[in-house]
Amino acid sequence: MAVPVKELANGATIPCIGMGTFGSDRFDAGQVAAAVEGGIEAGYRLFDCASVYGNEALIGGVLEKAVTGGKVKRGELVITSKVWNDMHGSGDVLLSCARSLKDLKLDYIDIFFVHWPFPNYHAPGCDGDSRNPASRPFFAEEFAGVWRQMERLVDMGLVRSIGMSNMTVPKLEAALPLCRIMPAAIEMELHPAFQQPGLFGYCVGKGIQPIGFCPIGSPTRPERDKTPDDVAATEMPEIMEIAGARGVHPAVVCLKWAVRRGQVPIPFSVYRAEYESNIKCVSEDPLTDEEMRKISAADRNCRLIKGQVFLWEGAANWRALWDEDGVIAGWEG
């Protein structure tokens, strides 16, 4: 199945749906790599990778086999990766990129993202309330130092496009004037229960492609990342009603909404039936204007990936990471 592509501001293209590769605690690297192999057969060309997902080496083996075996041309693939928070120091971004290139068995990465806009690191799987004493708030000048290293990767031909992730409008307002090369894309949490109209519209207005993570509302994220107030996108009455009327799974409605709105969703699944159904969404039966309006009005402003493990000592709570009052939180946040 051929997936329609969209053009980024720098002229590169990106499929309008991709496959996530974060297996979290549930799926090991081999299972995720097998899903990438099946995904290529199903027609996926965009794979959202990251060094911190711990599976780039096995995914790289699959990509190499697919290209050398003639299943797909390298130029048709759009492979992303991300520099993790512990590799923001001078020279470290290049090291991280080199490591991802080696693991993914590629000679360039299509879009390389700064995974989080600060160097706050936590041990994998640590308790949600734990704080690293070295964690600190976002500083635009510090972030600019990371971005300059990202720009250098473009200059060196190691990456085609660069992007940011987990940003807010105030952080972008501070960071974009410091960029020589604009981000071509920004990853952000986007699903019917968390539509981020402000950030989404801001990016579109600047010609930056939003890429929506957790597009199905990440129903299987670890328990430590769930709170009692979380709204499950697939259980929202509006989504269930549309799914019921169409005779499809609510996940399909979430993805059709994403594609028609204009973000690039990157759903994750290791199950063939699910990832095949997800990719089919983009070419069959788009949502109607009325269905789009209904979902737009159903936004619950419910952030699921709160990032609380990245808080600095003294920060009040996870909301300090997201500048909800329009100001970038500092030490007092």
Ligand X SMILES: NC(=O)c1ccc[n+]([C@@H]2O[C@H](COP(=O)([O-])OP(=O)(O)OC[C@H]3O[C@@H](n4cnc5c(N)ncnc54)[C@H](OP(=O)(O)O)[C@@H]3O)[C@@H](O)[C@H]2O)c1
Residues near ligand X (CB under 6 A) are 20-22, 48, 115, 165-166, 187, 213-221, 249, 251, 266-269, 271, 274, 277-278, 305
- Cβ distance to ligand X smaller for residue 183 or 217: 217
Rounded to the nearest whole angstrom, what is the least distance from the CB of residue 264 to ligand X in the complex? 11
State how far the Cα of 260 lies from the Cα of 186, in Å rounded to an integer: 18
Active site residue 275: no
- Cβ distance to ligand X smaller for residue 91 or 279: 279
Q: 44, 53, 202, 275: which one is catalytic?
A: 53
- Cβ distance to ligand X smaller for residue 51 or 269: 269
Burial bucket for residue 296 (CB in 10 Å: 0-12, 13-18, 19+):
middle
Rounded to the nearest whole angstrom, what is the least distance from the CB of residue 70 to ligand X in the complex? 27
Burial bucket for residue 228 (CB in 10 Å: 0-12, 13-18, 19+):
exposed
- For residue 142, what are its two tokens? 């510090």
Rounded to the nearest whole angstrom, what is the least distance from the CB of residue 73 to ligand X in the complex? 23
- For residue 230, what are its two tokens? 């979380």
Residue nearest to ligand X (CB): 20
- Cβ distance to ligand X smaller for residue 122 or 289: 122
State how far the Cα of 15 lies from the Cα of 216, in Å rounded to an integer: 18
Rounded to the nearest whole angstrom, what is the least distance from the CB of residue 18 to ligand X in the complex? 8
- For residue 119, what are its two tokens? 């160097």
Catalytically annotated residues: 53
